[in-house]
Amino acid sequence: MNTKLHAICDSQGRPIDLFLTAGPVSDYIGARALVSGLPNVKWLLGDRGYDADWFREALQDKKIRPCIPGRKKRKTPVRYDKRRYKRRNRIEIMFGRLKDWRRVATRYDRCPQTFFSAIALAATVIFWL
C-alpha cells in the first residue's frame, strides 16, 4: 500500500513524466528510470533524495545543470543556486494539484497499476488546465 511517485514537470508545474515505485525504495531508482526521458532543458531542480554523483554526471552529459542540494552526510559539500532552488515549489504545487483528486490523495486502489492509471488521468487533466 505504500508507494512513491517520481515526476518530471515543466516550469509551469505541468507533469511531463511520471514513475511509481514502492515506498521504501530509494529515490535513485526513480531517478535512474526518469533520466533517459528528460527533455532538453538548462536546469533540473530536485530535492536532496536525488543527490548522487552518477546522477549529476548523467545530467552533465545531457548538458543539464543540476540544482540539487547535497545530502546532509555528504563528505564534500555541493554548491547549488539557492535562489533558483526556491522555484522548486512549482513541483510541490504539481503534487498538490494531483492530490486534489480524491482517488489519488486517499489511495483507494490496492493495485499499483490501477493507482497509477488514476494518477495518469489526473495528470492529463492537470496538463491541459
Confidence of residue 1 (pLDDT cuts 50, 70, 90): low
Cα(62)–Cα(42) distance, rounded to whole angstroms? 9
| Band of pLDDT at residue 120, cut at 50, 70 and 90 | very high
Q: Which CATH code, of 3.30.470.20, 3.30.1300.10, 3.90.180.10, 3.30.420.10, is assigned to 3-127?
A: 3.30.420.10
Instruction: Write the pLDDT tens digit of every residue in 57-115.
Output: 999 999 999 999 999 888 888 999 999 999 989 999 999 999 999 988 888 888 889 99
DSSP string over 55-91: HHHHHHHTT-EEE-PPPTT-SS-----HHHHGGGHHH
Please count the helices (runs of H) and the strands (runs of E) in the chain: 6, 4
pLDDT at 55 over 90: yes
Q: Provide the whole-model pTM.
A: 0.86
Q: What pLDDT is stored for residue 119 in this prediction? A: 94
pLDDT band at 42 (very low <50, low <70, confident <90, very high): very high
The C-alpha atoms of residue 25 and residue 8 are separated, in whole angstroms, by 18
- For residue 5, the model assigns a pLDDT of 92
Percent of the chain surpassing pLDDT 90: 60
Asked whether the predicted pLDDT for residue 124 surpasses 90, the reply is: yes
Distance CA 122, CA 125 (A): 5
Q: What is the mean pLDDT of residues 16-32?
A: 90
Domain ranges of the chain: 3-127
